[in-house]
Amino acid sequence: MNTKNNKFDMHGISRRNLMKVLAASSGAAALGLSPSRVFAAKTGKPFKIGFVTPASGPLAIFAEPDQFVLEQVKAATRDGIVIDGTHHPVEIIVKDSQSSSNRAADVAAELILNDEIDIMVAANTPETTNPVADQCEINGIPCVTNDTPWQPHFFGRGGDPKVGFEWTYHFFWGAEDIIGTSLALWEQIPTNKVIGTLWPNDSDGNAFGDPKMGFPPLLKEKGFELVDLGRYQSPSDDFSAYINEFKKQGVEIISGVIPPPDFGTFWSQAGQQGFNPMICTMAKATEFPAAIAPFGDRADGLTVEVWWSPTHPFVSGLTGQTSAELAAEYEAKTGRQWTMPLGFKHSLFEVAIDALKRSEGPGRLESIRDAIASTNYNSIVGPVNFQTGPVPNISKTPLVSGQWRKQGDRLELEIVENSQAPMIAKQAELRSLV
């Protein structure tokens, strides 16, 4: 049986994998690693990390920092991971989900069944993290995900708070955090407290608009008047009905969680139809400088929840960089402005590599899973510990709110509200849009 399996492994090496190994070894030579350093310890089997990311399609903007983060991780793990005196190289296999949960499930299964990975990592919206985690749970593969609010991830997969999941772990903030920071934000300036919402009929929209667990009950409690016309079907190319109703009801605050193209349509039509709210806090759509830059002056003053920024007071356990140093290196190397997924993609690999270091070695999947479960790690996005979350398998990261400010030809995100995470410093006061 054993020899049969080995034989199969030999046939299993595809040309592409062979090329990767060759490229990695020539890369090590180029970095000037002396042979004595590489072969200091016994060399064992590699740790294989599978990584699913929306590199193309509508969510591609989330994957912008991937290349940079992967290079950093490769550099940080070029000496491999040493377990019991044996040196294990780290190999990362990247698959594009094409922003589709169908494709995400397929590539996750490919990574599990064909590449025989030791650990799976995935990030960016329920469309990516949920199908990937589902495949891992069924196939018994340790999995770490982030960048999906924890309720759509945990409850969206049918999670039971009493039992949790066996193989899949997730760290991010939740609906309660965004509700807390948003409410505190909106109370900063005097308004008529009439709020209009745009919640699409998708995982995030249904979670935020949930009449029990979402925004509505807390808004009422705090004395806000809610103008909610129901879940709309995204993508939508006409928001006139919403805008008319908002105008009629005298809405001064706009909130929602909508994809960038929808926000583009909504914000343009709001401008044309003379609807000018005092505050516009739009999750997802206005998280990215590239997505709002086309609005020019109308992007100045938009507000958004902030999950990571260069001012977050955390240090990477992988590279020793502060948040500011990480963002600066990213901007210097890529020529692009920092974005929030940069910190989270970095932390995803931090947590995975920390778990691998504490495991019993490649192929020891139970030990890798147990190492993830017992994670107690200070990452670039804050402490990660899956034992202390609101439900099993979840760890929460801090959330604040920020406002985009035009500075020269660049939009800067400044922290204007930190009631949920006081360790992150406030940089400015909220200004009204009008």
Q: Are 349 and 318 in contact (CB under 8 A)?
A: yes
User: Residue 116: which region, alpha, beta or left (left: phi > 0; alpha: psi -120 to 50)?
Assistant: left
> Which one of 81-89, 95-103, 176-184, 417-425 is the stretch in contact with other proteins (CB under 8 A)?
95-103
**What's the Cα-to-Cα distance from 16 to each of 54, 55, 68, 113, rounded to whole Å?**
21, 19, 22, 16
Nearer to other proteins, 86 or 234 (CB): 234
Nearest distance, CB of residue 239 and other proteins, angstroms: 17
Question: Which of 18, 113, 241, 423 is in the footprint of other proteins by CB under 8 A?
Answer: 113
Give the residue, chosen from 20, 87, 157, 358, that forms a contact with other proteins under the rule CB under 8 A: 157
Q: Are 182 and 281 within 8 A, CB to CB?
A: yes
CB closer to other proteins, 56 vs 385 = 56
Q: Does 202 bind other proteins (CB under 8 A)?
A: yes
**Strand ranges, E, within 32-138:** 42-43, 47-53, 81-83, 86-88, 90-96, 119-123
Backbone angles phi, psi at 16, to 5 degrees: -65, -40
Tokens of 178: 């965004």
Q: List the one residue from 2, 3, 6, 8 that touches other proteins (CB under 8 A).
A: 8
Measured from the CB of residue 12, what is the shortest distance to other proteins in angstroms?
7
One-letter identity of residue 356: L
By CB under 8 A, name the one of 28, 33, 70, 137 that touches other proteins.
137
Minimum distance, C-beta of residue 345 to other proteins, in the bound complex (Å): 18
Q: Is residue 208 at the binding interface for other proteins, with CB under 8 A as the rule? A: no
Binding residue for other proteins, selected from 53, 72, 77, 98, defined by CB under 8 A:
98
Tell me the C-alpha distance between 357 and 359, whole Å. 6
Task: For residue 200, state whether it binds other proteins (rule: CB under 8 A).
Answer: yes
**Which stretch in 199-207, 273-281, 320-328, 363-371 sits in contact with other proteins by CB under 8 A?**
199-207
Structure tokens at 244: 């008319």
Binding map of other proteins across residues 335-374, x = CB under 8 A, - = no contact: ----------------------------------------
Q: Is 205 in the site for other proteins (CB under 8 A)?
A: yes
Task: Please report how close the Cβ of residue 178 comes to other proteins at its closest, in angstroms.
Answer: 17
Minimum CB separation from other proteins for residue 174, in Å? 15
Contact between 316 and other proteins by CB under 8 A: the answer reads no
Distance CA 146, CA 158 (A): 17
Q: Name the strand (E) or helix (H) holding 8.
A: helix 2-12
**Residue 315 buriedness (CB in 10 A; 0-12 / 13-18 / 19+):** middle
Out of 65, 131, 174, 301, the only residue in the binding site for other proteins (CB under 8 A) is: 131
Residue 133 has a CB neighbour count (10 Å cut-off) of: 31
User: Rounded to the nearest whole angstrom, what is the least distance from the CB of residue 137 to other proteins in the complex?
Assistant: 5
10 Å Cβ neighbour count for 161?
Answer: 12
Residue 79 CA to residue 77 CA, distance in Å, equals 5
Q: How far is the CB of 166 from other proteins (least distance, A)?
A: 8
CB 45, CB 118: distance < 8 Å: no
- Minimum distance from CB of 133 to other proteins (Å)? 9
Beta bridge partners of 73: none
Residue 140 interacts with other proteins (CB under 8 A)?
Answer: yes
Crossing angle of the two packed helices 240-248 and 260-272, in degrees rounded to 10? 50
What residue ranges bind other proteins (CB under 8 A)?
8, 12, 55-56, 95-96, 98, 100-102, 105-106, 109-110, 113-114, 126, 130-131, 134-135, 137-140, 152, 156-158, 165-166, 200-203, 205-207, 231, 233
